[in-house]
Amino acid sequence: PMTGTYSFAFITGEPDEEINKKLNGKFVNVYVPTTPNPTSGYTLIVPKNKVIELDISVDQVLKYVISMGVVPVGKKLKKISK
């Protein structure tokens, strides 16, 4: 919603060549999952050079989104001993 803020998104492919030509550049399709139901997200066409690729699994991102950011990405949760 403003410069300097970020969101997790999944790259889902590339738009048709016509879109790249009309927009004058290289773009990718991304799906942005929303909290707490990631299937109610939305799709965007964004400039490829603005995408920051991360080495994070889909599972980790979905846990983060569903938990509304409570479960940190990439951090293993400690087991509670009985």
Indicate whether 1 belongs to any domain: no
> pLDDT tens digits for 8-58?
999 999 999 898 889 998 999 999 999 989 999 999 999 999 999 999 999
> pLDDT tens digits for 66-79?
999 888 887 666 66
CA atoms within 13 A on the CB side of 76: 3
Indicate whether 27 belongs to any domain: yes
Question: What pLDDT is stored for residue 78 in this prediction?
Answer: 66
Count of domains observed in the chain: 1
Indicate whether 5 belongs to any domain: no
Indicate whether 43 belongs to any domain: yes
Question: What pLDDT is stored for residue 71 in this prediction?
Answer: 86
Instruction: Provide the domain limits for residue 47.
Output: 10-66
Question: What pLDDT is stored for residue 43 in this prediction?
Answer: 97
**81 pLDDT exceeds 90?**
no
Indicate whether 73 belongs to any domain: no
Q: pTM for this one?
A: 0.80
